[in-house]
Copies of this chain bind each other. A is one copy, B any other.
Amino acid sequence: MDIPVSPLARPFPDLPRIEGVELRVARAGYKDWDRADLTLVRLAERTSLAGVFTRSACASHEVESGREQVKAGTARALVVNAGNANAFTGSRGRDAVEAIKAQVGEQIGCDPAQVLVSSTGVIGVPLPVERAREGLSTVTKAEQCGWKEATDAIGTTDTFAKGASASAMIGDRRVELVGIVKGSGMIAPDMATMLGYIFTDADIASDFLQEALDRANETSFSCMTVDGDTSTSDTLLAFATGAAGNLRIEGWDSAGADAFAAALDDLCRQLAQLVVRDGEGATKFITVRVSGAQSDESARRIGLSIANSPLVKTAIAGEDANWGRVVMAVGKAGEPADRDRLSIAFGGVWTARGGQAVEDYDETPVAEHLKGEEIDLAVDLGIGTGRATVWTCDLTHGYISINADYRS
């Protein structure tokens, strides 16, 4: 099946080189396709590592291994296999991951425990170890490539390559952050969703990097959803090479810590929004702003209940300001709400206020807004000061077409 490029796609941006990061890709042939599907990222010695992973109870071996590796806090290489998730493959899956780690450790001369592995694609088919072995031999000798090539090589059903950058001043040193991400379906939050990799030349202790990544994840990947389905392989990793030579950030008291964390927040938000823009079948990018909730967390849950509701998502696909369905989604969230204080706006126009329809609201700008590609849906609970912003896309025939056929 040929999936057309998302109408919400963004061009791949110019991204800076990150000192201490070397990108290479090769064709291992995990599927019968004519494209690079194996990515090897070599990292400078003493690169700090942080990560967040899927909360799936059926996570892949890659995820289980990654969770352990993150505890040590350093990495020398990352391998990404595209086309095969190597999930639900029993001991053969585990063996494949360990073989890759051993081979890369030998090839670049590092402890296999410092080699991170991700795999993405079909579930249930063991990763062909022989292809991985040959691919790794090839990729080690390949020329270095750019961000776009690496991003293309980690993609599967993605319809466009997704990357972003940010920077921060730490003392007098400017540090750069680059992130690349893949994912378009099986996307739900409540964790780091999809595969995402962030590289920075900042010098940062891994404990602080983990703290900043957890925080950034909260307001980015944990605030977006495409279909409410959660992958067995979701992984978000951050690598800090230290090549910028800034005064090392050890904690929130270190100079530049806030600036770095803000840049990381910004980068993660950009990446999360790009994933939504590649949501399967998406034709509209929806920002759900919840305010007046009992707490920020309650606002986030209500936002996700709205963003995951098939009836809300199909209404927006049909360009219908159906705030009744929004009321329904607020009501089912299981969070504190008072029907008679609830207000709802589309594109900044309040269509319902204090638990009732606004009878004489001007429908023209609302209808105009809903015809666009960027939809703004605001919900005020009127009971507190909690707020959250959540991103999602509409639910269309495209989603059904893509998912009733994929794999067959």
Docked complex Cα distance between A317 and B315 (Å): 22
Docked complex Cα distance between A186 and B327 (Å): 12
Min C-beta distance of A157 to chain B, whole Å? 12
Which of the residues B57, B335, B408 comes within 8 Å of A320, measured between beta carbons? Answer: B408
Q: Does A3 interact with chain B (Cβ within 8 Å)?
A: no
Which of the residues B123, B333, B340 comes within 8 Å of A327, measured between beta carbons? Answer: B123
Q: Is B399 in contact with A328, judged by CB distance below 8 angstroms?
A: no
Which of the residues B92, B229, B309, B322 comes within 8 Å of A329, measured between beta carbons? Answer: B229
On whether A89 and B57 interact (CB within 8 A), knowing A123-B328, A314-B399, the answer reads no
On whether A396 and B404 interact (CB within 8 A), knowing A324-B124, A327-B123, A331-B59, the answer reads yes
Q: Is B186 in contact with A123, judged by CB distance below 8 angstroms?
A: no
Docked complex Cα distance between A342 and B59 (Å): 12
Q: Is B327 in contact with A87, judged by CB distance below 8 angstroms?
A: yes
A309 to chain B: closest residue by CB: B229
Q: Which residues of B contact A395 (CB under 8 A)?
A: 400
A318 to chain B: closest residue by CB: B404
B-contacting residues, A299-335, CB 8 Å: 308-311, 314-315, 317-320, 322-325, 327-335
Counting contact residues on chain A (CB < 8 A from B), the size range is: 35 or more
Q: Which residues of B contact A333 (CB under 8 A)?
A: 57
A230 to chain B: closest residue by CB: B332
Q: B-facing mask of A39-68, CB < 8 A → 1, else 0?
A: 000000000000000111111000000000
Docked complex Cα distance between A376 and B97 (Å): 34
On whether A330 and B89 interact (CB within 8 A), knowing A229-B311, A405-B318, the answer reads no
